[in-house]
């Protein structure tokens, strides 16, 4: 019988006007220290993006999200933070910040299948 793995996840949010603190969910990052697992995915609906009446550029936000993903995945072209250990990368990505791309506070959970749990959380919280 497969045992439960402890994981943490945070929702990636777009905050078009930081001063108003309004946001919508655009992605998810999840990690498990024991399983040396980290995964992130995002979906930024162009129509929803336009509804926010923001001066932000859609392509710039996509580039920021791709950088976020490179850091999470430990990609060689993700910069020095991407070379850190998985827990450190997760903590850096989920640190509180005042920017247009933010994350929720991390939330814990248990799962026998991290990929399946990630997919379920992504569908529930982002799509």
Residue ranges of the domains in the chain?
5-125
Average pLDDT over residues 12-41: 94
Residues counted in the chain: 127
CA distance linking residue 93 with residue 113, whole number of Å: 23
Residues 6+ apart with CB under 8 A from 115: 39
Structure confidence at residue 22 (pLDDT):
86
| pLDDT tens profile 96-108 | 988 999 999 999 9
Please give the structure tokens belonging to residue 70.
Answer: 């490179």
- C-alpha dihedral over 42, 66, 31, 8, to 10 degrees? -50
Residue 100 · residue 88 · CB < 8 Å: no
Structure confidence at residue 1 (pLDDT):
65
Residues 6+ apart with CB under 8 A from 6: 32, 33, 34, 108, 109, 110
Q: Which residues pair with 14 in a beta bridge?
A: 24, 101
Answer whether residue 16 shows pLDDT above 90: no
Structure confidence at residue 115 (pLDDT):
97
Residue 89 · residue 82 · CB < 8 Å: yes
Phi, psi of 4 (to 5 degrees): -70, 140
| pLDDT tens profile 108-127 | 999 999 999 999 999 999 99
Structure confidence at residue 55 (pLDDT):
83
| pLDDT tens profile 50-75 | 888 678 899 999 999 999 999 999 99
> What is the pLDDT of the chain when averaged over all its residues?
94
Nearest to 30 by CA among 44, 20, 14, 41: 41
């Amino acid at each position: 019988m497969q045992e439960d793995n402890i994981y943490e996840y945070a929702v990636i949010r777009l905050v078009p006007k930081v001063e108003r603190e309004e946001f919508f969910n655009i992605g998810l990052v999840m990690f498990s220290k024991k399983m040396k697992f980290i995964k992130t995915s995002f979906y930024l609906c162009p129509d929803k993006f336009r509804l926010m009446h923001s001066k932000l550029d859609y392509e710039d936000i996509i580039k920021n999200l791709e950088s976020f993903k490179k850091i999470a995945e430990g990609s060689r072209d993700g910069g020095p933070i991407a070379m850190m250990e998985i827990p450190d990368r997760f903590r850096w990505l989920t640190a509180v910040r005042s920017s247009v791309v933010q994350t929720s506070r991390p939330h814990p959970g248990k799962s026998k299948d991290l990929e399946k749990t990630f997919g379920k959380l992504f569908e529930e919280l982002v799509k």
